[in-house]
Amino acid sequence: MEWMIDTANLKAIKEAVDMLPVTGVTTNPSILKAELPFDYEEQLKKIRLLMPGCSMHVQLGSEECGAMLEEAADLRALLGKDIYVKVPVTENGIKAIRLLKKRGMNVTATAIYYPMQGMLAVSAGADYLAPYCNRMEQNEIDFGKAIGQMRDMIDLGNYPAKILGASFKNAGQVVRAIDCGAHAVTVAPDLLRSALKSALVTDAVAAFTRDYQRITTGE
Ligand code: G3P
């Protein structure tokens, strides 16, 4: 099971890496835009440095296949060969995924709303598939069922692809994605931390602390 953080905020990344068992970081142009102003390449390099040993997934901004290949090569030169380029699963994207895999690049297929999109990305050689769980739910697409169907295809065909659930707005969606077969999830740091500081947990710990004080000091 892999837990990744879906953010480009340097402070949030540092705090999450210090506290949580995270194995990777994911961004997209909209997530990065929230952190402006910055120099794009410098911001990516800072994120990379904050997460040594973790996977980093950076989305391509180009829509044409040739431009995607060039952008991916630039990102690999900037961030290292272990970088994962996120490619939206469109017609151009599927073509790019096949060519990027032939060039030995790591690929995360993204913007997945439909199981067949994910299945095509698996056949194209994608390393990770990122279904957009909350966005699917908002559009009355059963993301749990879709994850299960993609997982069945991966397991039956013995493909190396992993499902990386994304676009979460609450803990229930995260748990359901994992329950339905996601190998990994990428979650905003605040949502990850919210699971650890609910009122029920806080109250339970406060009671234990009071009782510990009593049994150890008699007060
Ligand atoms: O990685 C980005 C994906 O998680 C989309 O998230 O919140 O824009 O639906 P959101």
- For residue 134, the ligand 1 atom closest to its alpha carbon is 9
> How remote is the CA of residue 132 from the centroid of ligand 1, in Å?
6
List 112's β-bridge partners, or say none: 131
Measure Cα distances from 66 to 40, 72, 109, 164 in Å: 21, 10, 17, 26
List the catalytic residues: 86
Q: What is the mean pLDDT of residues 127-135?
A: 98
pLDDT of 219: 82
Mean pLDDT for all residues in the chain: 97
> In 10 A of CB 167, how many CB atoms?
25
Q: Does residue 210 surpass a pLDDT of 90?
A: yes
Q: In the structure encoding, which two tokens stand for residue 208, read together?
A: 């234990």
pLDDT of 204: 96
pTM of the model: 0.96
Q: Does residue 106 surpass a pLDDT of 90?
A: yes
pLDDT band at 163 (very low <50, low <70, confident <90, very high): very high
Check residue 158 and give left, alpha or beta (phi > 0: left; psi -120 to 50: alpha): left
- For residue 86, the ligand 1 atom closest to its alpha carbon is 1
pLDDT band at 55 (very low <50, low <70, confident <90, very high): very high
Residues with CB under 6 A from ligand 1: 6, 26, 28, 132, 134-135, 166-167, 186
Which listed CATH number (3.20.20.70, 3.40.50.970, 3.40.50.300, 3.40.1160.10) goes with 2-192? 3.20.20.70
pLDDT band at 32 (very low <50, low <70, confident <90, very high): very high
Q: Name the closest-CA residue to atom 2, ligand 1.
A: 167
- For residue 26, the ligand 1 atom closest to its alpha carbon is 1
> How remote is the CA of residue 167 from the centroid of ligand 1, in Å?
4
